[in-house]
Structure 1
Amino acid sequence: MDFCPESLHYELLAEVGEGSFGKVYKAREVGEKQRLLAVKKFNFRWESEEAGIPPFMIREVALLRKVGYFNHPNIVKLLDASAVSIGSALDLTLVLEYIDQDLSTFLSKAPACGLGRDLIKDVMQQLLRGLDFLHTNLVLHRDLKPENILVSSRGEIKIADFGLARIHTYNIALTPGVSVVTLWYRAPEVLLNSVYMSSVDMWSAGCIFAELFLLRPLFKGYTEVQQLQKIFEVIGLPSEDDWPQESPILYSESLGPRGSCTNLLPNLDQDENDLLSVSTVLLLLSCQK
């Protein structure tokens, strides 16, 4: 099966994923390079002529093109994008560089004894370099999680999936409008429906850092209230005066203790502990048992 946009020719090899709007394929470039590619095919149908491509898809393509000019090694590259309109349907195709697996799959294959310290350091260095690049260019990812971090066979880390990302302005916080960040990696200010900035990505990065040690999510709630409870069990409940007035979740002392736990993850050195503190996540293993 072949698909040939004007600038890039390839053949589809296998379907590797399926989402709400379309499918993802592994493909191979036709010609001299023979590169492996990831091809996302989306099909949108609408009843009125005023409808069009969903905003999240427009954002993803626009942001990938914006950051693509810099060719950063820790951001997935968009190689081509094309759209074909047929009546009330629109077929949109994105062609990206192919990466073997995501971080979630990578962690599922880790040995029971855990990842080595040097490997964890390398993963986090690459992740934070990519995040620093995005924030320097005023891009908030807003959905950082292991499934959206790709790991190549050569150990390259690349941030992917910019469907919830957006541009922001210095010193202007964003207000919750859509549900951003997958629940287990969602910062307290988002859970509390408060204003937020790039710190939401740093919180997610801190949760991922913990997961590299634990081989499981640090905060694993199934409702927003339960997620807050698990977080406050670790970092301590803020005072009622610090609670955002606009939050739909009412302040309650049952959400967590006033003080934080004191037993850190075993074998953390000072630099690792400092990094977790900067990420506003305290890795306190005893509170998670």
Structure 2
Amino acid sequence: MMPSHIAAKNSSLSLPPNTSVPCANTQQNMPPASINNPFLMFQPNTKSYEDMTLIGNGAYGTVYKAKDLANNGQFVALKKVRVPLGEDGVPVNAVREIALLKQLTSFEHPNVVRLLDICQGRKLENERQMLLYLVFEHVDQDLSTYLEKCPSPGLGPERIKDITYQLLNGLDFLHFNRVLHRDLKPQNILISNQGIVKLADFGLARLYTSNVTLTSVVVTLWYRPPEVLMAQPYGTAVDVWSCGCILAELYRRKPLFPGENEVDQLAKIFEVVGSPSQSDWPLDVSLPWTTFKFYKGVPFRDVVPEICSDGADLLKKMVCYDPVQRISCAAAMKHPYFRDFEMNPPSCIKDTLQNNTQHPKASRFYKIS
């Protein structure tokens, strides 16, 4: 299936051009109560979007580029999703997660794509589904396309550092507010022509609590950490692993761990980071420790020759086998690799700091209550 933000060729639209979608607009600043009563977020409105063209098809919806008629025809990304209907209508959990994303948007974090609107579409009675249209700010391209367009020999080290810092900044904000993205990959990271990085595609995002049961079918294979591959409990460290894989890919211009299946993925990981000892192998994994050869691991500068020594050290800490020992986003941003960024952060983060002087960390702003 094509990632959400990659342009599709020769695809048929399920909505014809010049179609207008009426919208039930959400409040600009949703009260915390809307998390408990998510249906409060629908407000009658005459706003509509039209002139839609297909951007791409993803596993969790179809994305169109559309014009916002209420805002001088500015472009937006309109994502059509199908929500299953139960006996009581739209499942509360589905709408609650959308409400959470809307509340995150109200903080206007520079590195998280903004959810501008939510439109309730028609009910598909025969399929017991309802269409929802999530309206996001339109960003020029995803990181995968950005890398493909970059001429040889690729991105410079300072540009890679800038992109990674912004990515960590957005993730730190999500994690501080107990949100796991769970599907980080270059296709789900947007980057504007001005170089601003934004986390996008929250189809697998989840509010994390200590007693929640999380599915193991998350994260695209090449960016999936060992604890998810082995169906173990996981938390925010899953996103840090994926971010580390992306950091390496920015230098290499190809994936760090391109496995063909889950077993091969683990083998490729162990070959680089080293195999865990038999005593560290989880007891409740269907694959025995003896399934894999024992690897000592290799220096990261052998795998990513262009990276500096500080970058190699950070990468090692981000793709650490043990999620408990894996570095956090907040700690990664303070790593010596980003030494220059403490005094001179990327411009989008600097602007936010200046506009939010009462909040010393641009990466976090406010904590959701």
TM-score, normalised to structure 1, is 0.87
> Which of 154, 157, 170 is matched with 1:114 structurally?
154
| Contact 1:7-1:80 at 8 Å conserved across structures | no
Q: Residues of 1 paired with 2:313 and 2:216: CA distance?
A: 32
Partner residue, 1:25:
64
Seq. identity, %: 45
1:37 counterpart = 2:55 = no
| Contact 1:2-1:10 at 8 Å conserved across structures | yes
> Which of 90, 114, 117 is matched with 1:77 structurally?
114
Partner residue, 1:86:
123
Partner letter of residue 194 of structure 1?
Q
How much does 1:20 deviate? 5.2
Q: Residues of 2 paired with 1:59 and 1:164: CA distance?
A: 13
Instruction: Give CA deviations for 1:168-202 in whole Å, capped at 9, x if unaligned.
Output: 23xx3865534011110001111111111111100
1:239 counterpart = 2:257 = no
Partner residue, 2:261:
223
Q: Residues of 2 paired with 1:146 and 1:58: CA distance?
A: 26
| Contact 1:228-1:255 at 8 Å conserved across structures | no
| Contact 2:121-2:132 at 8 Å conserved across structures | yes
Q: Residues of 1 paired with 2:67 and 2:221: CA distance?
A: 35
Moved more, 192-201 or 23-32: 23-32
Partner residue, 2:249:
211
Partner residue, 1:13:
52
Q: Residues of 1 paired with 2:206 and 2:211: CA distance?
A: 12
| Contact 2:47-2:70 at 8 Å conserved across structures | no
1:188 counterpart = 2:206 = no
Q: Residues of 2 paired with 1:14 and 1:133: CA distance?
A: 32
Partner letter of residue 116 of structure 2?
L
Gapped regions of structure 2 (runs ≥ 5)? 1-18, 24-44, 322-369
Moved more, 207-216 or 153-162: 153-162
How much does 1:22 deviate? 4.5
How much does 1:64 deviate? 1.2
| Contact 2:83-2:94 at 8 Å conserved across structures | no
Partner letter of residue 220 of structure 1?
P
Q: Residues of 2 paired with 1:90 and 1:243: CA distance?
A: 44
SS at 1:229 equivalent: helix
How much does 1:96 deviate? 0.7
SS at 2:289 equivalent: coil
| Contact 2:84-2:90 at 8 Å conserved across structures | no
| Contact 1:83-1:91 at 8 Å conserved across structures | yes
1:4 counterpart = 2:41 = no
Partner residue, 2:347:
none
CA 1:29–1:234 in structure 2 vs 1: closer, same or farther (change >3 Å)?
Answer: same
Gapped regions of structure 1 (runs ≥ 5)? 283-289
How much does 1:54 deviate? 6.9
1:266 counterpart = 2:284 = no
How much does 1:255 deviate? 3.7
- Cα RMSD between the aligned structures? 2.4
Instruction: Give CA deviations for 1:240-264 in whole Å, capped at 9, x if unaligned.
Output: 110111112211263441x221361
Q: Residues of 2 paired with 1:86 and 1:242: CA distance?
A: 50
CA 1:194–1:87 in structure 2 vs 1: closer, same or farther (change >3 Å)?
Answer: closer
Q: Residues of 1 paired with 2:187 and 2:108: CA distance?
A: 22
| Contact 1:43-1:92 at 8 Å conserved across structures | yes
SS at 1:252 equivalent: helix
SS at 1:193 equivalent: coil
How much does 1:50 deviate? 2.5
Q: Residues of 1 paired with 2:144 and 2:92: CA distance?
A: 27
TM-score, normalised to structure 2, is 0.69
How much does 1:238 deviate? 0.6
> Which of 201, 206, 215 is matched with 1:177 structurally?
215
Q: Residues of 2 paired with 1:202 and 1:83: CA distance?
A: 34
Moved more, 85-94 or 96-105: 85-94
Partner residue, 1:202:
240
How much does 1:110 deviate? 2.1
| Contact 1:74-1:158 at 8 Å conserved across structures | yes
